[in-house]
Amino acid sequence: MVEALYWIGCGLTLLGALLTVVGAAGVLRFPDVYTRIHAASITDTGGATLLLLGLGLMSGLQFATLKLVIVWAFIMLTSPAAAHALANAAYASGLTPWIGEFRIIKGATPDAKKTGNAS
Amino acid sequence: MSGPLAMLDVGAIINGVLLVMLVVLMCAIARVRNLLTAILLMGVYSLVMAVWLTVMDAADVAFTEAVVGAGVSTVVLLGAILLTRSETAAISWKAMIAPGLAVLVVGGLLVFAAQDLPDFGDPASPANAYVGKLYLEMTGGDIGAANVVTAVLGSYRGFDTLGETTVIFAAGLGVALMLGFGERAMSDRERGRMPVNVSAGEDHVVLRVMAKLLIPLIVLYAFYVQFHGDLGPGGGFQAGVIMAVAVILHALVFGLDATMHAVRPGVARAIAALGVLVYAGVGIANIVHGGTFLNYDYLFPPGVEARLPDAAHHNWGQHFGIMAIEAGVLLTVAATMITVFYGFAGRSAEAVAVVGGDDTHGQNP
Amino acid sequence: MSFFADLYAAPPALLAHAAVLLVIGPLMAAAAAALAPNARWAWMIAVGGSVFAFWMALGVAGEVARQGVVTYAMGGFAPPRGITFRIDALGAMFALLISAIAVAASLFSGHSLDGEIRPGKRSLFQAGFLLCQAGLLGMSATGDAFNAFVFLEVSSIGTYALIAAGSGRDRRALPAAFNYLIMGTVGATLFVTGVGFLYAATGTLNMADMAQRLATLDDNRAVQAGFAFIVVGLGIKAAMFPLHGWLPGAYAHAPSLMAVFLSATATKAAIYLIVRFAYTVFDPGAAFVAHFMDWIVAPLAGTAIIVCSLQAMFQTELRRMLAYSSVAQVGYILLGVAMGTAAGLTGGLLHLFNHALMKAALFMAVGAMALSVKAVKLTDFSGAARSAPWTMAAFGVASFSLMGVPLTAGFLSKWRLVEAAIGVEWWWAVAVIAVSSLLALVYVGRMLEVMVFRSAVAGGDAIKEAPIGVLIPLWMLAMASVWFGVDASIPEGLARASAAAVLGVR
Amino acid sequence: MSFVTSHFNYVVVIVLMMGGLFITFSTGNLIKRMIGLAIFQTSVGVLYISLGKVAGGTAAITIEATSEAGRALSSKLDPGYVAQYGVDGVVYSNPLPHVLILTAIVVGVSTLAVGLAIAVRVREAYGTVEAGEIAAADQAAIAQADRRKSGGRGR
């Protein structure tokens, strides 16, 4: 049982690491700030959750597991807030979201500022 | 070289990868001309460095590097480019020749020296076999702290740490002397102008809620780090920086003005000086009670320590002595970091536009 | 040294801890000054801290004269584990010099800050000055290599900002201070790299312990490179030619208090550490030490004397002139140090002592004259002799000493250097000293000619006499330059004892 | 283990130190210079910490050799190695360089803060943080002052 949990933990850790790499690729490859923030927050939430879950399963139930839970709780609190702040700052400084094909299909006005202002 | 060092292999690979990342980051920092990019890369550099330090078993140093290098340094650097400009001028090839030669001389000397440096991880090298091992063997009896780094930092080399605290204090003095305590931001407010570089977000509900939730937790964590230093990584320095981060977060979300009314610049300055006095005062107390400077065995007046519970097994003097000086370090570091932040953040953009500083009487040479 | 042995300095209970109180006194005074309610209080605390440090330095010097070496174990831990203060005659000499200059400088600061620093920042300034003093005293007292680095930084970090605070008078203080910060930090980092190499080779940081272990490690390349790193790193701090680029700007534009104090002590403390490492930590018999001294330090020192004396001649600003002269004088001192003989070291240290006194007096006189009028260029000072005779007379006395006129301290130490150079048959050094004395005659003559014989620029404000609070420390320093030229038993005794302690340590 | 792998850390120290120094000296931008200086200073940390690493060692926080963690550590090591280089049955890395570098990091951030504060004031006084432009401004100011003075004499 313990052995099985250990290996499941290993698998989850690996999956988390994979998601982190995917997120990093997204940060590098995505076209503008907002999409990149989106990719980065995948790393923060999805990647970190899987990693921490995997580590918790690997270590078994002990004091360190509690610390992992607390770490997870903090990441859940802070990283969306940080992503929000980043996006907000980008928006406030006048960066318009890149919306690509969407604009052409809908035939919307080319005034990107207006379309971007969804909120 | 087989045998013990074979065990190193996985660690050696991680070590190598992280070090190569450091070199790559350094090259990137050298190449970019945009200062904002350079500063963010510097933050990444510090984080990679912190991870590498953890691999090297230097948990305390890694902690410090993470909070200082990736945290405070980045904040200070960002504060500085807000007040200056964000693109460096191009460098001509000619301007690189003299520095290049100087660097090559230093590099040559380093290569020369590296040939006779001990193998990496060698447990029998003089560095690892002599005084360092002595500390590991004697901390249990001399001081009784589980974290040997804290024992060395607080007691064996406590005088260095006093010097370190003084350096921080001096830096606070220096920044305050150069940039003031942010009083300009306060007077701007009185004149009805807000400093531009403070995002007092009235509408940032998410951030305000998060900050209200986090600030008490950050302070709590700072205290945990402070008092856990005996047993694990941590201590006054890291705790002080974390404490200051709580205040900086408050300023970023609720506005510098509100923070300056909560933690007055004059109070921060006084606390910084007080921390140094606490540290040195502990040393003087030991002298008064018949020991030498910073000899915590004489922290209590003669006879008092024996009456403390379980005195035979606990080295109460050392224990409380380290705790007291760490408190001094906490006060100075936290207050200085806050002072430094006030100095940079309180320098409003209007000040930048006016050529000439506040105590410039005239500027022709 | 017998002078200090017979001196009753302090009660024994205090004397036992004098070595550490010497450093902790100004350090705690710095914190207290930062807490002071106003500039007046801060000034009194600064004077009090400096006088206390001088008192403790006298006590330490007495103990050294009686026992030879004073050791003090911080935290009660025996040397390889704990940090130890180890003060011999050399350390005692520097502690005395630094704290004596600090007393004069702190008295001077009562007036000098008035026109330079805003009242609200004066207490911070005094705190920084005291920290710098504590750091320099710590450098001269410590027996631990890494602790020396910590004190080097204690003395430097605040100082950078204090120099930059000269921007109230002249904005060029800012880039000069920044330049000093870069160079100083590079120097300190090179120093700590060198210490790291020594640590790698010996496993200890205690200087005495290190010296014992280094005696068998002459062939270790890390040790040899460590020596180069330490001397070059400290050489930057000591303004060793050609690493002196930061000095003229920093001294010329710093607030006059810092110009007085730094010119007399900061480079000197770095030279102290060079002597300490080269002759007591490293094996002085090792070929690489002797070669480095003979083939790198000595020729550079000779070049510094000539080149910087020439540069001093062509400066148009008075304080920049004095700053270039300082680099040249560092050359004299290092020349003596590089000879490696007792006579050479005595001459070098004696010149260091005398130069500290006269340069402090010169910068103080210039600062005093610039109190009333914004005078920067040499021509701004014309006619000073008529309108400010007392200040000018002190300037004249100190500048005679700088030139090396007989019956002044400067003459004696140059003479000792010449004797030592003849002793090791460095004829080129004798020639260099002779030529540079002529050059000094020219640039000092130029200063005096403008100040004494030219009348004040029409329309400009006349330079006023300095207040009595400035004249007292100024004349103390100027009279010391004369007194130690006539009866040099105290400084020469100190220098001889230091050279003996350094070279006879093994 | 070959010489290159056993000295790889020192190679990195050399590269970082040279790179940091080069950034510091080659650029004219004061902020960039401070960044270079910070890299230069951290490279010394890499040197010291590399010196203090002990193969198979753990962080210098005392643990019982008989505890689970202690047994897990020594199970990977040769008993003779543990007996020779361990303390009470556990091999630790050297704590002394850690303490020294902790101090050095603090010194580094202090230098950074003061240096940047001065750079900000330079920007306020000169309107630029490029060393070349600052020097040019100084020279222009001197020339202007000279001209004003000679002009004054001419009148």
pLDDT per residue over B60-119, tens digit each?
999 999 999 888 999 899 888 877 767 777 777 777 888 889 899 999 999 998 888 888
C-alpha R_g of chain A: 19
> Which residue range forms the structural domain that includes residue D46?
3-53+118-154
Interface test with D, best of B22, B148, B337, B358 (most D CBs within 10 A): B148
- Residue C367 predicted with pLDDT over 70: yes
Distance (Å, rounded) from C-alpha C133 to C-alpha C143? 18
| B235 to chain D: closest CA residue | D102
DSSP string, B247-294: HHHHHHHH-HHHHHHHS-HHHHHHHHHHHHHHHHHHHHHHHHTTS-TT
Q: Does residue D62 lie within any of the structural domains?
A: no
Give D64 to chain C, closest Cα distance, Å.
Answer: 24
Tokens matching residue C486:
């006539």
DSSP string, D70-128: HHHHHHTS-HHHHHHH-BTTB-B--HHHHHHHHHHHHHHHHHHHHHHHHHHHHHHHHS-
Which residues are CB-neighbours of B277 under 8 A, at least 6 positions away? B328, C28, C31, C32
* Beta carbons of D105 and B81 less than 8 Å apart: no
pLDDT-derived band at C460 (thresholds 50, 70, 90) equals low
Q: Is residue D76 part of a domain?
A: no
φ, ψ for residue B58 (rounded to 5)? -95, 70
Domain map of chain B by residue range? 1-87, 127-353
pLDDT digits (tens, 9 = 90+) for B177-220: 998 876 665 555 555 444 444 444 456 788 888 888 899 999 99
For residue B284, the number of C-alpha atoms closer than 13 Å in the C-beta half-sphere is: 14
Q: What is the pLDDT of residues C112-161, one digit of tens each?
A: 887 778 888 888 999 999 999 999 999 999 999 999 999 999 999 989 99
Say if B362 is an interface residue toward chain D (CB within 8 Å): no
- What token pair was written down for C328? 């040249």
Residue B153 in tokens: 């930092």
The token duo for B290 is: 């018949």
pLDDT value at position B354? 36
Is D69 an interface residue toward B (CB < 8 Å)?
Answer: no
Q: Using alpha carbons only, give the angle C413, C418, C421 rounded to the nearest 5 degrees.
A: 125
Q: B204, A77: Cβ pair inside 8 Å?
A: no
Q: What is the pLDDT of residue B247?
A: 92
C301 found inside a domain: yes
Among B106, B128, B168, the residue to mutate for chain D (most D Cβ within 10 A): B128
> Average pLDDT, stretch A24-47?
84
Q: What is the pLDDT of residue C430?
A: 92
Do the Cβ atoms of B312 and B138 come closer than 8 Å?
Answer: no
Contact D46 B19 (CB under 8 A): yes
| Runs of H (alpha helix) within A1-119 | 2-29, 33-42, 48-59, 63-92, 101-106, 112-116
To the nearest whole percent, how much of chain C has pLDDT over 70? 98
Contact between chains at B214 and A78 (C-beta distance less than 8 A):
yes
Distance, in Å, from the CA atom of B188 to the CA atom of B87, rounded to the nearest integer, reads 28
C contacts of B298 (beta carbons < 8 Å) = 76
**What are C238's two structure tokens?**
């000591």
Q: For residue C131, list chain B residues with Cβ-Cβ distance below 8 A.
A: 166, 169-170, 173
Residue of higher predicted confidence among B351 and C348: C348
Contact residues, chain D, for C172 at CB < 8 Å: 138
Report d(CA B157, CA C437) in Å as an integer: 47
pLDDT confidence of B1, banded at 50, 70, 90?
A: very low
The verdict on a CB contact (< 8 Å) between C157 and D41 is no
At B347, the pLDDT band (50, 70, 90 cuts) reads confident
The ipTM value here is 0.91
Task: Write out pLDDT tens, residues C72-96.
Answer: 998 888 888 889 999 999 999 999 9
Residue C367 lies in a domain: yes
Pairing label, strands C70-73, C84-87: antiparallel
pLDDT by residue for chain D (155 residues), tens only, comes to 577 778 889 999 999 999 999 999 988 889 999 999 999 999 999 999 999 888 888 888 888 878 777 787 777 778 888 888 888 888 889 999 999 999 999 999 999 999 999 999 998 888 888 888 888 888 888 888 777 766 544 43
The pLDDT value given to residue A112: 45
Q: What is the pLDDT of residue C464?
A: 79
- What is the token pair recorded at C117? 């620093």
pLDDT exceeds 80 at position C8: no
* Dihedral angle sign, alpha carbons of residues B158, B163, B168, B169: positive
Name the minimum distance, in Å, from the CA of C170 to any CA of chain B. 5
Query: Nearest residue of D to residue B120 by CA position?
Result: D6
Q: Is residue B262 within 8 Å of B250, Cβ to Cβ?
A: yes
> How long, in residues, is chain A?
119
**Spatial contact of C456 and C463, defined as CB atoms under 8 Å apart:** yes
Given a cut of 70, whether residue A101 has pLDDT beyond it is no
- CA atoms of B275 and B60, how far apart (whole Å): 21
pLDDT above 70 coverage of chain A, percent: 82
What pLDDT is recorded for position B360? 36
For residues B141 and B318, give the distance between their C-alpha atoms in angstroms, rounded to a whole number: 11
Q: Is residue D144 part of a domain?
A: yes
Residues of chain C positioned with their CB less than 8 A from the CB of B174: 128, 157-158, 160-162
Q: Are there at least 3 beta-carbon pairs closer than 8 Å between C and A? A: no
D25 falls within a domain: yes
Local confidence band at A118 (pLDDT 50, 70, 90 cut-offs): very low
On average, the pLDDT of chain A sits at 78
Per-residue confidence at C102, pLDDT binned at 50, 70, 90? very high
Judged by 3 or more CB pairs under 8 A, whether B touches C is yes
What number is the average pLDDT over the span C357-365? 92
Question: Is residue B60 within 8 Å of residue B233, measured between CB atoms?
Answer: yes
What pLDDT score was predicted for residue B313? 67
The pTM score is 0.92
Phi (first) and psi of residue C502, to 5 degrees:
-75, -45
Number of domains in chain D: 1
Task: Give how far Cα D131 sits from Cα of B3, B91, B271, C187, Å.
Answer: 55, 11, 37, 20
Q: What is the mean pLDDT of residues C463-482?
A: 88
Looking at chain A, which subunits does it touch, using at least 3 CB pairs closer than 8 Å as the criterion?
B
Contact D47 C146 (CB under 8 A): no
Smallest Cβ–Cβ distance between C196 and the set D47, D119, D121 belongs to D47
**β-strand partners of C87:** C70
Mean pLDDT of C189-211: 93
Longest Cα pair distance anywhere in chain A, in angstroms? Answer: 61
Q: Which of B130, B156, B280 sits opposite C82 (nearest CB)?
A: B156
The pLDDT confidence band at residue C45, using thresholds 50, 70 and 90, is very high
Angle in degrees, CA C93, C99, C104, rounded to 5: 125
Best of B136, B137, B173 to substitute, by most chain C Cβ atoms within 10 angstroms, is B173
D18 to chain B nearest CA, in Å? 6
Q: What is the spatial distance between Cα C199 and Cα C190, in angstroms, rounded to a whole number?
A: 14
Q: Counting one residue from A and one from B, how many pairs have CB atoms under 8 Å apart?
A: 16
Find which of D27, D48, D109 to mutate to test the B interface (most B CBs within 10 Å of its CB): D109
pLDDT of residue C489: 86
Q: Are C338 and C294 in contact (CB under 8 A)?
A: yes
| Tens-place pLDDT, residues B21-69 | 999 999 999 988 888 889 999 999 999 999 999 999 888 999 999 999 8
For A85, the closest of B207, B214, B217 (CB atoms) is B207
Mutation pick from B148, B157, B161, B342 vs chain C, by most beta carbons of C within 10 Å, is: B157
Residue-number span of the structural domain to which C494 is assigned: 290-506
Question: What is the pLDDT averaged over residues B140-144?
Answer: 80
Cβ-based contacts of B207 with chain A (< 8 Å): 81, 84-85
pLDDT at residue B334 greater than cutoff 90: yes
Do chains D and C touch by CB distance (3+ pairs < 8 Å)? yes
pLDDT at B3: 47
Contact C481, C408 (CB under 8 A): yes
Instruction: Residue D44: list chain C partners with CB under 8 A.
Output: 189, 192-193, 196
Q: Which of B112, B117, B162 is opposite residue C200, by nearest beta carbon?
A: B117
pLDDT given at position C16? 87
Q: Interface partners of B (3+ CB pairs, < 8 Å)?
A: A, C, D
**Sign of the dihedral through C-alpha B347, B350, B352, B358:** negative
pLDDT at C152: 94
Write down the pLDDT at residue C458: 62
Q: How far is C387 from chain D (nearest CA, A)?
A: 22
- Single out the residue of C376, C148, C420 nearest to residue C254, CA to CA: C376
A87: exposed, middle or buried (Cβ count in 10 Å: 0-12, 13-18, 19+): middle
Contact list in C for residue B176 (CB cut-off 8 A) is 121, 124
Residues in C closer than 8 angstroms to B134, CB to CB, are 80-81
> With contacts defined as CB-CB under 8 Å, which chain B residues touch D19?
23, 26-27, 30
pLDDT of amino acid B183:
63
Which residues in chain B are contacts of A77 at CB distance < 8 A?
210, 213-214
Say how many Å lie between the first and final Cα of chain D, rounded.
83
User: How far, in whole angstroms, is CA C214 from its chain's centroid?
Assistant: 29
What confidence score (pLDDT) does residue C195 get?
95
Report the percent of chain B where pLDDT is more than 90: 33
Among the ranges given (A8-17, A20-29, A87-96), the one the predictor scored with the smallest mean pLDDT: A87-96
Residues of chain C with C-beta less than 8 angstroms from the C-beta of D137:
none
Q: Where do we find the tokens 């010291």?
A: D48
Contact flag C161-D37 (C-beta cutoff 8 Å) = no
Name the residue among C158, C178, C186 with its Cβ closest to that of D119: C178
Rounded CA-CA distance D94/B123 in Å is 9
Round the average pLDDT of chain B to a whole number and report it.
82
- How far apart are alpha carbons C293 and C278 in whole angstroms? 9
Average pLDDT estimate for C283-303: 87
For chain C, the domain total comes to: 1
DSSP string, C78-89: -TTTS-EEEE-H
A84:B207 CB<8 A: yes
Closest residue to C174, CB basis, from D47, D107, D122: D122
Q: Does B214 touch chain D (CB under 8 A)?
A: no
pLDDT exceeds 60 at position C447: yes
- Given a contact as 3+ CB pairs under 8 Å, which chains touch D? B, C
Torsion over CA: B354, B356, B361, B362 (sign): negative
Is the confidence at residue B343, as pLDDT, over 80? yes
Q: Is there a domain that residue C370 lies in?
A: yes
> To the nearest whole angstrom, how far is the Cα of B273 from the nearest Cα of chain C?
5
Beta-carbon separation of D55 and B7 below 8 A: yes
Band (pLDDT 50/70/90 cuts) for residue B312 is low
State the pLDDT at residue B193.
Answer: 47
pLDDT of residue A115: 41
The beta strand positions in C27-180, using DSSP E, are 70-73, 84-87
